[in-house]
Structure 1
Amino acid sequence: MELFRGWRAWLAGLALLAASSPALASYAIYSGRIGGSDITFVVERRNAVQRAIYFYDRYRTPIRLKPAFLHQTRDLGMDELDAAGLPVARLRFDRADFFRSTARLTGTWTDYRSRQALPLELELVAYLDSDDAWPAGRHPLLQAASSERFYFQVPMDESDAAVRTIEVMDKSSGKRWQTLELAQPGCNRGMDTVQVVLERGLTQLRMAQTPYCPGVVFEWDPVAERFEDRLR
């Protein structure tokens, strides 16, 4: 009986790992500049698709880029999207090599409307894949969703690790406002692990529930000025 229970636990753990990582992914985290503005830039590679988000360090509001098959794109570029999902600018890379072995990337950011072009420079800060993290330790993975006041990070030490905490970051200062501890490890969905919704006029942070992953809902308490776990 004990052997059977152990076997069931092993299968459950394997299922959680598979659900948290539907396809092996890696993440490259960069610090850089567009023109004279400092930025933080994150690229996710899953199979042959590259997805990316970035923010200007002055404002700290994540901006999505349109997913791309960069090895099939002649100019090695990705479109920057506005809040409505429409392309507003083009990020072109001289070399679209988002691997640990490439410490520095250069390119050009071009505004579609004005045609203004600015130099793009990126320096690799951290790299996460299914084996480990470089440098060793936990690194915050920026989330694509944000609220008016906060942006969010998920600390990870490898790309397919289960999620245990969510960091609530103050946009105005860039400092951590709160760390949310999950009652049970949640599924890792990369840069889309945390969803932000407005419910009854209050901001909620959610992680989707699946057959193998517990759902998570944290809701903003305007009196305490904290997010509270609504499922406990």
Structure 2
Amino acid sequence: MMGLPRRWNAWLAGLVLLCASAPSLAGHAIYTGRIGNSEITFVIESRNAVQRAIYSYDRYRTPIRLKPAFLHQTYDFGMDELDAAGLPVARLRFNVANFNRWTPQLTGTWTDYRSGKSLPLELKLLAYLDYDESWPAEGHPLLQAASSERFYFQIPTGQGYTAVNTLEVMDKSSGERWQTLALPQPGCNRGMETVQVVLERGLTQVRMEQTAHCPGAVFQWNPMEERFEDMLR
């Protein structure tokens, strides 16, 4: 049997990568705004009827996870904020629940479960990322849920973002990019969970999951150089 033309091999390889990166086939709405007087960045992923979200206070730049929620209505929608142990500590409630390009503003409340204190929540759409398009056209970095004590992470996006070519290491203290990690092979985009951060023998590692169709990546912190180094090369 004759082999497939080279262009078909390339097309099939791209299709495999797209299918293997199924978690990226979701819309990500990126908002900026405030809880009370505190500036925040809020990212919510909509996939089927499940909403997953993270947010960070711009002053601290540490991503905070929210408990995934099933969206069954289009108003008065809420999600629980989780602490480091995964326990609910506060409630974010939105007056509407259309998290897409056509919802330029969100309002609601943030309520602390322990004290009952409630603060107004106001958000404005900064970008919307889908698997086949980005708005605005040049895209916007997608914040990752995992972070270390010193750094947070994001993946650049552009015209579509099913494959990941680089990871951006961001300094929490300044908000500036510390380092760009180039992947030896394009990895699968898994939305806000693309990057994993683990401690290995006292050193921080940044990882991307390896599967049958997705090449993995491991970068380890070198304290002497103050840089992450590729462990798979």
Instruction: Output the TM-score relative to the length of structure 2.
Output: 0.95
Paired position in structure 2 for 1:132: 133
Q: Secondary structure at 1:28's aligned position in 2?
A: strand
| Change over 3 Å in CA distance of 1:22–1:145 after alignment to 2 | closer
| Runs of 4+ more than 6 Å apart | none
Q: Distance in 2 between matches of 1:71 and 1:207?
A: 32
Larger CA deviation: 129-138 vs 85-94: 129-138
**What is the RMSD computed on CA atoms of the aligned residues?**
1.6
Question: In the alignment, residue 230 of structure 1 is paired with which amino acid?
Answer: M
Paired position in structure 2 for 1:168: 169
Q: Is the 8 A contact 1:161 1:188 kept in 2?
A: yes
Q: Distance in 2 between matches of 1:41 and 1:172?
A: 19
| Change over 3 Å in CA distance of 1:74–1:133 after alignment to 2 | closer
Question: In the alignment, residue 16 of structure 1 is paired with which amino acid?
Answer: L
Give how far 1:3 is off: 3.5
CA-to-aligned-CA distance 1:116-148 (integer Å, 9 cap, x gap): 000000000000112211111131000000000
Paired position in structure 2 for 1:38: 39
CA-to-aligned-CA distance 1:27-54 (integer Å, 9 cap, x gap): 0001110000000000000111110000
Q: Distance in 2 between matches of 1:95 and 1:166?
A: 33
Q: Distance in 2 between matches of 1:141 and 1:29?
A: 8
Give how far 1:160 is off: 4.5
Q: Is the 8 A contact 2:75 2:96 kept in 1?
A: no
Question: In the alignment, residue 196 of structure 2 is paired with which amino acid?
Answer: Q
Question: In the alignment, residue 219 of structure 2 is paired with which amino acid?
Answer: F
Q: Distance in 2 between matches of 1:22 and 1:32?
A: 27
Question: In the alignment, residue 30 of structure 1 is paired with which amino acid?
Answer: Y
Larger CA deviation: 36-45 vs 160-169: 160-169
Q: Is the 8 A contact 2:34 2:121 kept in 1?
A: yes
Give how far 1:10 is off: 2.2
| Change over 3 Å in CA distance of 1:213–1:32 after alignment to 2 | same
Sequence identity percentage: 75
Q: Secondary structure at 1:137's aligned position in 2?
A: coil
Corresponding pairs, count: 232
Larger CA deviation: 92-101 vs 72-81: 72-81
Paired position in structure 1 for 2:48: 47
Q: Is the 8 A contact 1:23 1:47 kept in 2?
A: no
1:63-212 alignment to 2 at 5 Å? 63-72=64-73, 75-157=76-158, 160-212=161-213
Q: Is the 8 A contact 2:209 2:217 kept in 1?
A: yes
Question: In the alignment, residue 213 of structure 1 is paired with which amino acid?
Answer: C
Larger CA deviation: 153-162 vs 210-219: 153-162
Give how far 1:215 is off: 1.0
Q: Distance in 1 between matches of 2:69 and 2:166?
A: 29
Give how far 1:24 is off: 2.4
Q: Secondary structure at 2:85's aligned position in 1?
A: coil
